[in-house]
Chains A and B, each alone.
Chain A
Amino acid sequence: MSQAELDKLIRSNYEAGFSTTVDTETLPPGLSEEVIRFLSAKKEEPEWMLEWRLDSYRKWQEMPSPGWAHLHHDPIDFNKVSYYSKPKSLDDAPKSLDEVDPELLATYEKLGIPLHEQEMLAGVAVDVVFDSSSVFTTFKEKLWEAGVIFCSISEAIQNHPELIKKYLGSVVPKGDNFYAALNSAVFSDGSFVYIPKGVRCPMELSTYFRINEANTGQFERTLIIADEGSHVSYLEGCTAPQRDENQLHAAVVELVALPGAEIKYSTVQNWYPGDENGKGGIYNFVTKRGVAHDNSKISWTQVETGSAITWKYPSVILRGDNSIGEFYSVALTRHMQQADTGTKMIHLGKNTKSTIISKGISAGRSSNSYRGLVRISPRAENARNFTQCDSLLLGDTCGAHTFPYIESKNPSATIEHEATTSKVSDDQMFLCRQRGIDPEKAVSMIVNGFCKEVFKELPMEFAVEAGKLLEVSLEGAVG
């Protein structure tokens, strides 16, 4: 991104902080079997899907919410959350952009996501999620020609039940954890991707999420299956309007990389983090996990700048021999934000290899924790892991914590761990300012430099987005 852009963004207020007034059909708050039946019926789901949801709900009811993350928040009243909302104007799905609610389009316009342009220029297929249901999917035909399935998970349940039955919950089981169980019971919508054997997906697949309804929980469900020898790069980006109510988000993402496949999953997350007093902001509890079979590769790249609370550990189960797992992360916290994020690399296969690069940036009175687990199972001969955790502090009132867990049950493993904590020094700031660079720009430049190793992993078009979001979040981080 250009420095001019950075400069503009760092000065701007939280530009995404507005809300539209699209007519919605929203279920009153509260969770029960009836709600799940309603939701499932509304989506005209088959019986087996309803049963799957109900089973998840029963599991969830028996689970305590996790208390071990380095996070502090009031207990969430799950009966104050609304579990279904859908833009009304989309009951008859639009066939093209012209048919889309103009207010909705205006919202995307404000966010700087010109769909028309994306359609024409970038060659990026966009499955736009507005609240809980998919609005429309572009570029479907082109993908279809390649044999790629890219649709909403609701559609996949209708049209590809055999794939859903086989893979949904295969990576993140229904009862995996509290939030995953909740998601499995009430997931609203999300993306489904299937790349056939040997196919290289002809374009980056991208989804923009947006939380709109106050008090509406977001329960996205994403499932990506890369069949043998295939290749896909998936981009996920989010931004949300300014709200006073805390909003709950509990997504589940499952990745399946079959032998020889490669999945690259990139996220830029910029949900409303709350104001300097911690008021408002999104609670983001996400379960992201991939299974890598023989000779396959799964790579997670994330840029996290938003949310009041982030609880997120994109993980890779290195099941197959010679499989590779990667995790590149930038997590920026400011004001009263709390982030507890990291990854798990579970080495099961022989000659498996994982790389973890985590960059935490803390400002204000925020708290930023890296929590990572590297587990080498007894049969994982010659497994290798390299972990690097760097923390950058802006100011004296923020905190950075690193919790690396290493469990090696095979003596042939090679595990390297490096960790650093640094500050944006007065000397660095003075050097920049002495060269005429104003302090805001100087900070953003220094922070961007700190993140470089992660940013270079992002697809080109996404790196710009990442930089932008970082800027918005850095606003006010300087004196």
Chain B
Amino acid sequence: MLEIRDLHATVADKPILKGLNLTIKPGEVHAIMGPNGSGKSTLANVLAGRDNYAITGGEALFEGKSLAELEPEERAQAGLFLAFQYPVEIPGVSNMEFLKAALESVRTAQGKEEWDSVTLLRQARAACKQVNLDASFLKRGVNEGFSGGEKKRNEIMQMLLMEPKLALLDETDSGLDIDALQTVAKGVNSLRSPERGIVLVTHYQRLLDYIVPDFVHVLSNGQIIKSGGKELALELEKKGYGWLTGEEESA
């Protein structure tokens, strides 16, 4: 469902991705690991279409369509979801209002039946419960005054409702305590299905104890330098990234 071939990309005109190859098939869970600054977030943002992140070579195809030709909202409507590393606040716009707009747009685009407000509220409450967020968070401004962990759980809550085809999770584990980590992992695991692809971007292998990936890739200097199964993550944990990059790890 996702075909990345020889992808080159820049952030604010600075080359970051330098010939990246990756194929994700439905039902697979991939973990992308790598030292700080290796380009993990860049990859996620390029795929989602953030301003200032430009594809300068190669291609990224999502279900056969070139992502470069789609606006960010069209990519979302096509079923691509990004859980942000740093979720931003939107004061005064309630979570519920936000979800309503998002779901209306995405469900309509995907030809799914429209949810009336009663259904929406019921689904949203259930999603909150799944990630251990009180339903009162639906009334609060998007991420407004949420703690770091609450923001991350809020992202997963949105993901559960949006039912994406391809979910990209950027450092969703960072800043979570062990209980929250397990909650988040349970949420993500509940989305695992034969039709869905999941990409976990993470710095540590801790998350992978709870969401066991099918493949692990190591990103360094804008390229995938090694791929393997879940045991690769454990090996990395033991030996550090320096083992592969030949550098001292900075983080």
119-161 of chain A: CB within 8 A of chain B: none
User: Contact: A436 with B76, CB < 8 Å?
Assistant: yes
User: Contact: A3 with B93, CB < 8 Å?
Assistant: no
Contact of A435 among B76, B91, B92, B141 (CB under 8 A): B76
**Chain A neighbourhood of B91, CB < 8 A:** 449-450
User: Contact: B90 with A449, CB < 8 Å?
Assistant: yes
- With most chain B CB atoms within 10 A of its CB, the pick from A433, A435, A438 is A435
User: Contact: A436 with B106, CB < 8 Å?
Assistant: yes
**Chain B neighbourhood of A436, CB < 8 A:** 73, 76-77, 102, 105-106, 109, 162
| Chain A: interface size category | 20 to 34
The reply on A434 being an interface residue by CB < 8 A is: yes
- With most chain A CB atoms within 10 A of its CB, the pick from B90, B98, B102, B106 is B90
| Chain B: interface size category | 20 to 34
Nearest-neighbor residue (CB-CB) of A425 within chain B: B88
User: Contact: B162 with A3, CB < 8 Å?
Assistant: no
Q: What is the 8 Å Cβ interface bit string for chain A, positions 429-470, against chain B (1 contact, 0 not)?
A: 011111111110100011011111100000000000000000
Bound-state Cα–Cα, A449 to B50, Å: 23
The reply on A428 being an interface residue by CB < 8 A is: yes
Q: A435-B106, A435-B158 are in contact. Are A446 and B72 (CB under 8 A)?
A: no
13 contacts between A and B (CB under 8 A): A3-B101, A425-B88, A428-B90, A430-B48, A430-B51, A431-B88, A433-B73, A434-B49, A434-B84, A435-B105, A438-B105, A439-B73, A446-B90
Q: Which 7 A-B pairs have the closest CB atoms?
A: A449-B92, A449-B93, A435-B102, A436-B76, A433-B72, A452-B92, A436-B105
Nearest-neighbor residue (CB-CB) of B107 within chain A: A436
> Which residues of A are interface residues toward B (Cβ below 8 A)?
3-4, 425-428, 430-439, 441, 445-446, 448-453
The reply on B71 being an interface residue by CB < 8 A is: yes
B124 → chain A, closest Cβ, in Å?
14
**Chain B neighbourhood of A449, CB < 8 A:** 90-93, 141
User: Contact: A434 with B76, CB < 8 Å?
Assistant: yes
Q: What is the 8 Å Cβ interface bit string for chain B, positions 64-83, against chain A (1 contact, 0 not)?
A: 00000001110111000110
Bound-state Cα–Cα, A465 to B108, Å: 27
Nearest-neighbor residue (CB-CB) of B89 within chain A: A428
102-119 of chain B: CB within 8 A of chain A: 102, 104-106, 109
Bound-state Cα–Cα, A369 to B137, Å: 35
**Chain B neighbourhood of A4, CB < 8 A:** 104
Bound-state Cα–Cα, A435 to B104, Å: 10
**Chain B neighbourhood of A426, CB < 8 A:** 51-52
Bound-state Cα–Cα, A452 to B81, Å: 28
B12 → chain A, closest Cβ, in Å?
12
B160 → chain A, closest Cβ, in Å?
13
**Chain A neighbourhood of B90, CB < 8 A:** 428, 431-432, 445-446, 449
Nearest-neighbor residue (CB-CB) of B79 within chain A: A436
Nearest-neighbor residue (CB-CB) of A2 within chain B: B100
**Chain A neighbourhood of B84, CB < 8 A:** 431, 434
Bound-state Cα–Cα, A445 to B96, Å: 12
A375 → chain B, closest Cβ, in Å?
31
**Chain A neighbourhood of B88, CB < 8 A:** 425, 427-428, 431
**Chain A neighbourhood of B82, CB < 8 A:** 434
Q: A428-B88, A450-B91 are in contact. Are A3 and B73 (CB under 8 A)?
A: no
**Chain B neighbourhood of A428, CB < 8 A:** 88-90
The reply on B87 being an interface residue by CB < 8 A is: yes
User: Contact: B93 with A446, CB < 8 Å?
Assistant: yes
Nearest-neighbor residue (CB-CB) of B108 within chain A: A436
Bound-state Cα–Cα, A435 to B159, Å: 9
Bound-state Cα–Cα, A453 to B77, Å: 32
**Chain B neighbourhood of A425, CB < 8 A:** 88
Bound-state Cα–Cα, A449 to B141, Å: 8
User: Contact: A450 with B92, CB < 8 Å?
Assistant: yes
B250 → chain A, closest Cβ, in Å?
26
